[in-house]
Structure 1
C-alpha cells in the first residue's frame, strides 16, 4: 500500500493503481482517487476527493462516522475529513446524511440523496440529467439539477432552480416553487400547491400562445396538482383541464377558460366545488365557448361567460357580468340571493333564491325575472319581459320608464316599455313618473301610480290603490283618476296632488284624499280628508249608499254631500278638540262646521261644508270631535242647533 503525505500547503495528491493512503495534512487539498481501494484523509482545511480518473460511476455514502465511495471492480474507498467530493464523468450516486459537504457530479446522469441540511450540490449545464432525492421537508434545487423527488413524510416545500425542472411531491400537503424554466410539477397523494409568489412580475400560466412575453410560468405543466397560487402582480392563468383551486394573490388577476377542453364550472370566493375550479383573489374570469357555470361568492369580480348558455349564481355585491351580444351568446341565467340585483346586458334570465324581499332589475332585452317568497319589486326595463311572482306580494315597477305607459294585470292594453310584458302570480303594478294607465285583475292587487296624471282601475279583489307611491314619497303636481272596482279597497290619493278623482265603486272602501273628489260608492265606506296641500283647498266627499264615515282635517275646507238613506253615517272632526271648539254657520241651504277659533267672518274657508243640509240632505247621523265624544244628531235640518 502506497502512502502519500501532503505538506502544510494546498496540495494535489495522487496515488498508484493499487490501494493507497493519501493524507492531505494542512490547508485545502485535492486528493485524486485511483483505481484501487484508497483511504483519502484530507486533514485540516477544505479538502476535495476527486474521482475524474474513474471511468465508471461511483456510489458515495456519507454518514456520521462513516464515509465510503464504491467504484467499479470492487473498489471501495474510505474518506476522512473530506468536505467536497467530485464525481466521475459517468452516472454517479451521492447519498449524504451529514451536513456541511459539497457534492459535484460532473457530467453524467447523477443522483443526489440528501437527508441533511447544508449540503451543497454543484452541477454544470452540460452535465446530463440529474436528480435530487430528499427526505427533508424543505429544500432548494441547485442549478442544472433537473429533477427533485421528495421521499420523506409530512408536508414538503420545494424550490426549483432557474432551469427546467421536474418536481415530484410526496404524500403530504406540499408547496412547490419552480422558479425560471419550463417546469413539470407532479403532485402526490396530498393537497399540493404550485406557487409563483417568487416571481418578480405577473405570470401567464399555461398560455400556449404567448411567445412574445415569456414569464417564469411559461412552459410549466401540472400533473396531479390541486392548487395554484399567483404572483404579487397582475397574472393571467389559462385553464385547460382537471379541477384546481386557484389563488390569484395580489394584483389584478385573470383566469381564462377560453381554450379549455371542457366547459367552465367555477366557484369564485369561499366555497367548495367538487365539479370544477375554486378561485380566490381573482378579479376577472373569462368563460369557455360552452355552457359555463359560475358561483360568485366574492365582491369586485368581473365574470365574462361569452358564448354559450351560461349560468351565474351571484351571492356577493359588486359583481360585473359580461355576455356576448351575438346570437352565439346563448340564453344566460343569473341566480342570486342578494336583496337587489341588476341584470347586465345580454343576460336573459334572473331568479331570486333568497328568503327576504327582493328588488330585481332587467335590462333592455327580453327578460324573465322570477321572484322569491318575499314582497318583491321587479323592473324589467325595455323589452318584452316575463315576470313570475312568488309567495309574497310582488310588484312590477315601471319607475325606470322614460315615458308614460299602459299596463294591465287583466290582459288589457299594454303600451310603452310594458308592451308585451307578461305577469304570472304578480300582485301589483307601479307606474312611471309620467301619465300612466294601470289595471288590476281578480285578485287583491297593489296599484301605485307614481308620478304623472295616472288612471288606475282596480279589479275584483280587495285592492290597495295609490295615486302616488305606497311609500308616500310622491311627486307633487299630479292629477289622478282612481277607481276601486269590486271588493273592499284602500285608495290613497297622492298627498300633494293637484286634483284627484276617486271612486270606491262597490265594496266597503277606505279612501284618503288631500284635494279632489271622492265617491264612496256602494258599501260602508270611510272617506278621510287629510288636509294635504294648500290650506285653502280641500276635497269633496260623496258617501253615497251605505253606512259611511268621513274623517276630516278641518285646516282646509272639505265639502261633503251624503245622499245615502242609511241611518248610520258619521262625521269625525279630528282637528276640533271638543264641542266647545265647534262653530256652526249656515250659508243658504248649506251648513259649515268649523273651529270656533279660526276668526273667520262670512263664509268659512276651512272646516266642513255639508251641502244642501237644509234642503233635505241632512243624512249625517253622528258627529265626533277629536276627544272622542260622539253626538247623535236628531232628524231634520236643525240637528246642529245643540252646538249653538
Structure 2
C-alpha cells in the first residue's frame, strides 16, 4: 500500500512553533494475492516536507492497531506534508486533504473558524471559540472552558480539559466528554450522534448513543429517545429513559435500568461473582421478569429482554421474578412478590410486603427454613432467603418451615412436612400424605390467631404431629396427648378434643388440667377427626 496525504497547515501566527498531533486512519487490509491480513501490525512512515517546513520528533504507525499516528514534533510555516508506507501491497493508493488550524500553545482565549473542507482544529489553554463549519472536522479544544461548534459534516469534537460546550450540527457527530461540566448540544434530525464519556454523563437531547470509557465506576443516563448505552470496564449504572433502549454493561458489576419502552438489557462480562442487575426499583407498577427465558412484561418491563443478566430488582408493586440456571439475586422490594430462583444457589430477598419463594417447578423435593433462611435439595440447594413470608413447595416431598411471623406454607404434590412455627400460619399440604408438625403449644394460640390447615384429608393420609408438645406440664419429660374426640375436658392434663362450628373444625388441647384450652388448631371444613389423624 502506498500513497500520499496532503495537509494544508494554516497557522494563525506569523512566528512561533506549534505542536500538532495528526490522527490518521488506515483500515485493516487483506492482500488479494496472498490473502495475508495486515492491520494489527507495525508500520513505518517515510515523512517528507515541502514548502520550507520543518519536523522534529518521531514518526511511525502504532503497533497492534488499525489507527496510524504521525507524531509531528514541532511544526512551523505553511507546507504540504506527504508520506508513504515502506511496505507496499497491491492496493489502491490513499489520499486525503485537511486544513490544520492550531493555537496549541496559546494561553489566552482564541477564536478559530475552519473551512468548507475537512479541518483539524486544535485549541489552546484559554477559553477558546472553535468552529468547524462544513466538512468532517476533528476539533480538540485543549484546556479551558471552550465552545466548540462542529457545523455541518460528520464531526469529532473533544472538549478535553475544562467545562466545555460542544455543538454538533448536521451530520453524524461524535462528542468526547471528560468532565461532568461538559454540555453537549444537538438539534433534532441532525444525524446519528454519539458521546464517548470519561465521566458520568446524562445524554443530551437528540443524541442517540453513549459509551462510557475507563476503569472507574461511572454512570450513564439516556434521554427520551431510543438510546444505545455502553458501559465501561468498571461498575456502571446505566439508565435508559423512556425510549426503546439498548443497555450494554460490558465489564464490571453493572446496574441496568431500562425505564419505559421495550429495552434490551445486556449485562455481558461481570466484575465479580455478584453479576449484573436489571432494576425496576423506581417503577410503581408490578412487573414479570424471567431470566431463564430472557423476557419481561408488565409495567416498565413490558417488552424488555435480558442477555447475560444475573440479578433482578423488582418494582414497588407486586412482582413475579424468575432466575436462570445460575446463581441469581432476586429482590422483590415493595409489594407482594413471587420469587423463583431456579437452579443454582440463589439469594431471594422479598423486601416489604408478603412475599413468596416458589419451588413449584422443582421435580425433586426441597427443604426450606424461613427461620434460618437456608434452603437445600432440588432447586433450593444453596438458596439464601430473607424477607420471605410464604413458601411454595415442589412436586416432590418437601420440608417447609416458617419463622416467628405469620407464614403461608403450601406443599403441593408429594408427602410434605409443614411446620409453621410461632405466629398465625396457614398450612396447605396439597396432594399426598402430608404431616403438619408442631414443636410447642405456643406455636398456635387460642382464638382468632390460631393456625389454619386448609386441606386436611383422611383419604390422603394427612396427619397432625403433636409429638413434640409436652401434653402435661405437671410431669417430667414429654407426655403424649389423650384424644377425647368431641368430649369435654375433665380436669386431666394432656386431653385433646375438637369441635365443629360454622364450617370450621377446631382442635384444642389442655396441658395443665385446668379445663381451659392452651392452644387451638383450626381446620377448614367440617372434619370428623379420629385418634389416628394425630401423632400424639
Secondary structure of the structure 1 residue equivalent to 2:183:
strand
Structure 1 position 101, deviation (Å): 3.1
Residue 239 of structure 1 corresponds to 322
Q: Does structure 1 residue 35 correspond to structure 2 residue 35?
A: no
Q: Does structure 1 residue 474 correspond to structure 2 residue 515?
A: yes
Kindly tell me: are residues 221 and 194 of structure 1, through their superposed partners in 2, closer, same or farther at Cα, counting changes over 3 Å? same
Distance in 2 separating the partners of 1:142 and 1:205: 23
Distance in 1 separating the partners of 2:345 and 2:260: 32
Distance in 2 separating the partners of 1:339 and 1:77: 66
Kindly tell me: are residues 152 and 279 of structure 1, through their superposed partners in 2, closer, same or farther at Cα, counting changes over 3 Å? same
Residue 249 of structure 2 corresponds to 169
Distance in 2 separating the partners of 1:66 and 1:137: 25
Structure 1 position 333, deviation (Å): 1.7
**Which of residues 364, 388, 402 in structure 1 aligns to 2:456?**
364
Distance in 1 separating the partners of 2:177 and 2:253: 25
Cα offsets for 1:119-160 (capped at 9, x unmatched)? 6644638x6xx342233533232324633333254x433332
Q: How does 1:219-368 map onto structure 2 within 5 Å?
A: 219-231=303-315, 233-239=316-322, 241-242=324-325, 243-250=327-334, 252-255=335-338, 257=340, 264=342, 275-281=345-351, 283-285=354-356, 287-291=359-363, 293=366, 294-297=368-371, 301-305=389-393, 310-322=398-410, 329-336=412-419, 338=421, 344-347=427-430, 348-350=433-435, 364-365=456-457, 366-368=461-463
- Cα pair 2:117 2:134 within 8 Å, conserved: no
Q: How does 1:165-204 map onto structure 2 within 5 Å?
A: 165-169=245-249, 172-183=252-263, 184-186=265-267, 188-190=270-272, 191=274, 192-199=276-283, 201-204=284-287
**Which of residues 240, 260, 265 in structure 2 aligns to 1:160?**
240
Kindly tell me: are residues 60 and 161 of structure 1, through their superposed partners in 2, closer, same or farther at Cα, counting changes over 3 Å? farther
Residue 502 of structure 2 corresponds to none
Kindly tell me: are residues 472 and 160 of structure 1, through their superposed partners in 2, closer, same or farther at Cα, counting changes over 3 Å? same
Q: Does structure 1 residue 205 correspond to structure 2 residue 284?
A: no
Residue 497 of structure 2 corresponds to 432
Higher RCO, 1 vs 2 (CA within 8 Å, ≥6 residues apart): 2
**Which of residues 98, 111, 114 in structure 1 aligns to 2:197?**
114
Cα offsets for 1:172-219 (capped at 9, x unmatched)? 5543322222331415223233322222x223132799x998421222
- Cα pair 1:358 1:375 within 8 Å, conserved: no
- Cα pair 2:401 2:418 within 8 Å, conserved: yes
Distance in 2 separating the partners of 1:114 and 1:195: 23
Secondary structure of the structure 1 residue equivalent to 2:497:
coil
Q: How does 1:474-513 map onto structure 2 within 5 Å?
A: 474=515
- Cα pair 1:49 1:86 within 8 Å, conserved: no
- Cα pair 2:494 2:511 within 8 Å, conserved: no
Distance in 2 separating the partners of 1:18 and 1:114: 26
Distance in 2 separating the partners of 1:429 and 1:168: 66
Secondary structure of the structure 2 residue equivalent to 1:216:
helix
Residue 149 of structure 1 corresponds to 230
Q: Does structure 1 residue 102 correspond to structure 2 residue 153?
A: no
Distance in 2 separating the partners of 1:122 and 1:163: 14
Q: What is the aligned residue count?
A: 359
- Cα pair 1:33 1:53 within 8 Å, conserved: yes
Kindly tell me: are residues 316 and 169 of structure 1, through their superposed partners in 2, closer, same or farther at Cα, counting changes over 3 Å? farther
Structure 1 position 318, deviation (Å): 0.3
Cα offsets for 1:437-460 (capped at 9, x unmatched)? xxxxxxxxxxxxx99xxxxxxxxx
Kindly tell me: are residues 395 and 59 of structure 1, through their superposed partners in 2, closer, same or farther at Cα, counting changes over 3 Å? farther
Q: Which has the larger radius of gyration?
A: 1
Structure 1 position 111, deviation (Å): 4.5
Cα offsets for 1:27-86 (capped at 9, x unmatched)? 9x99565324444779999957456633xxx6665664799999xxxx999989972141
Secondary structure of the structure 2 residue equivalent to 1:344:
strand
Kindly tell me: are residues 160 and 338 of structure 1, through their superposed partners in 2, closer, same or farther at Cα, counting changes over 3 Å? same
Distance in 1 separating the partners of 2:324 and 2:419: 28
- Cα pair 1:139 1:157 within 8 Å, conserved: yes
Distance in 1 separating the partners of 2:349 and 2:102: 62
- Cα pair 1:226 1:245 within 8 Å, conserved: yes
Distance in 2 separating the partners of 1:240 and 1:79: 43
**Which of residues 205, 209, 212 in structure 2 aligns to 1:133?**
212
Distance in 2 separating the partners of 1:79 and 1:330: 65
Kindly tell me: are residues 21 and 300 of structure 1, through their superposed partners in 2, closer, same or farther at Cα, counting changes over 3 Å? closer
Structure 1 position 369, deviation (Å): 4.8
Structure 1 position 290, deviation (Å): 4.5
- Cα pair 2:312 2:331 within 8 Å, conserved: yes
Distance in 2 separating the partners of 1:359 and 1:121: 57
Distance in 1 separating the partners of 2:406 and 2:159: 68
Residue 28 of structure 2 corresponds to none
